[in-house]
Amino acid sequence: MLQLSNQTNFYKGKVRDVYTIADKYLAMIVSDRISAFDVVLPKPIPYKGQVLNQIAAQFLDATADIVPNWKISTPLPNATLGHKCETYPVEMVVRGNLTGHAWRTYKSGKRELCGVPLPEGLKENDFFENPIITPTTKAHEGHDEDISREEIISRGLVSQNEYEQLEKYTLALFERGKQIAKERGLILVDTKYEFGRIGDTIYLIDEIHTPDSSRYFYLDGFEERQQKGEAQKQLSKEFVREWLMENGFQGKDGQQIPEMTTDVVTAISERYIELYEQVTGKKFVKEPISEMDMQTKLEAALQQLG
């Protein structure tokens, strides 16, 4: 844990360390810790923090014309300095395809998700006619819960005017993300956005379009796989969950986390680097960071803010 000038708070999340500076700024360090099924796994994954932070930074810059965002600078490969916002208590989940949680709901026979009607006759991974927004409440512990637009407004979690603006931003961000993904030979299947505000201005906060917060399919062969009823080729953190499940772990009481051998850790690290290169179209450059470097560079960046 660092001690930064004018530090007023510190929060250690599952995979991130967040320092509040002068109650005005946040220094977010994306660690190499990795979680699945709401459990932090026992060994860190080298360069995972750098991968996620750099993807998020690139997409925050690529969408800044749509909505203001919290990022001020990335003084380190695994750290972002930004504005502290009052966070909205909902996450805006947007889906372009009938996949994951949406598919499991549909397969059970339900034809509504978060108050959004789902049409008959869809197969797993089919495109929706238009992307749908299926918000969740933000849980500090445990799982987020599905909630409808109407409930959010009626419960006063977000005012109607603000919520309508969040919806507009969400769909515009998703459209931009899909365009960028298509250029990389990918389909942005679903993702989530978090928003906050400073005064009357809404800001996009947290990470965006990373493989930890989003699901991607490979575009090449998508239609052919759909027609044959085959599984789609995914680009997401799902491979970690699949490895855990194959080894008998789903985060339930009494289950043991399988041994994370050096080979397993190396394989996960290499997969994250592969994800980075596919999603960004850039070559990944490994940048080892010492705690002293982190302290020095964050302090220098904070000095510039005055």
Domains in the chain, CATH or no CATH each = 87-235 (3.30.470.20)
Q: What's residue 138's pLDDT? A: 79
Please tell me the distance from the alpha carbon of residue 239 to that of residue 274, in angstroms, as a whole number.
13
In tens, the pLDDT along 145-162 reads 899 999 999 999 999 999
* Whole-number pLDDT of residue 238: 82
pTM: 0.93
Cβ neighbours of residue 148 closer than 8 Å, sequence gap 6 or more = 114, 115, 116, 135
Residue holding tokens 């996450």?
91
Give CA–CA dist 26/103, Å, rounded: 36
Whether the CB-CB separation of 210 and 52 falls below 8 Å is answered with yes
- For residues 138 and 73, the model is more confident at 73
Greater pLDDT, 9 or 239: 9
Of 274, 232, 267, 208, which is closest to residue 61 (Cα–Cα)? 208
> With b meaning 16 or more CB within 10 Å and e meaning fewer, what string describes 239-253?
bbeebbeeeebeeee
Residue 139 confidence (pLDDT) above 80: no
Please provide the distance, in angstroms rounded to a whole number, between the alpha carbons at the two ends of the chain.
23
Least confident of 17-21, 25-29, 32-36, 235-239: 235-239
Q: pLDDT digits over 100-122, tens only? A: 999 999 999 999 999 999 999 99
pLDDT for 82: 97
Which pLDDT score, from 0 to 100, does residue 305 have? 86
Q: Confidence class of residue 1 from pLDDT cuts 50, 70 and 90?
A: confident
Q: Over 90: is that where the pLDDT of 235 sits?
A: no
CA 182, CA 57: separation in Å to the nearest integer? 19
Pairwise CA distance, residues 42 & 159, whole Å: 41
Residue type, 81: L
Would you say residue 211 has pLDDT above 90? no
